[in-house]
């Protein structure tokens, strides 16, 4: 399920996704699809720019409510932006992706 969350922010909820590696792969595939899009001038088809996207990932944990889950995902998103944008950043250290 995908929904607009804020100005230029969207939230994607993956049901039955229980590990960061699967979520990371989904987000990376989506990021690459966005990056392949081209913004063009309608009359001339001149390419103006590409579209990039940053992603923050968080998994639901015992005791979570919607607010705590979204806060962790939002924190990870802002870390992706601080790290240079156009990337996927999990809530946990990168080592968790291979665990």
Q: Is 67 considered catalytic here? A: no
3 state SS of 13? coil
- Which residue is catalytic, options 8, 9, 61, 67? 8
DSSP strand E in 1-99: where? 2-4, 10-12, 38-40, 47-50, 55-57, 88-90
Annotate 58-77 with DSSP letters as a single string: ----TT--HHHHHHHHHHHH
Active site residues: 8
């Amino acid at each position: 399920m995908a929904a607009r969350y804020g100005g230029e922010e969207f939230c994607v909820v993956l049901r039955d996704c229980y590990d960061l590696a699967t979520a990371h792969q989904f987000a990376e595939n989506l990021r690459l699809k966005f990056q392949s899009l081209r913004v063009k001038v309608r009359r001339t088809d001149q390419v103006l720019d590409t579209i990039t996207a940053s992603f923050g990932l968080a998994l639901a944990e015992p005791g979570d409510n919607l607010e705590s889950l979204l806060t962790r995902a939002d924190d990870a998103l802002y870390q992706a932006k601080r790290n240079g944008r156009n990337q996927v950043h999990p809530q946990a250290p990168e080592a968790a992706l291979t665990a």
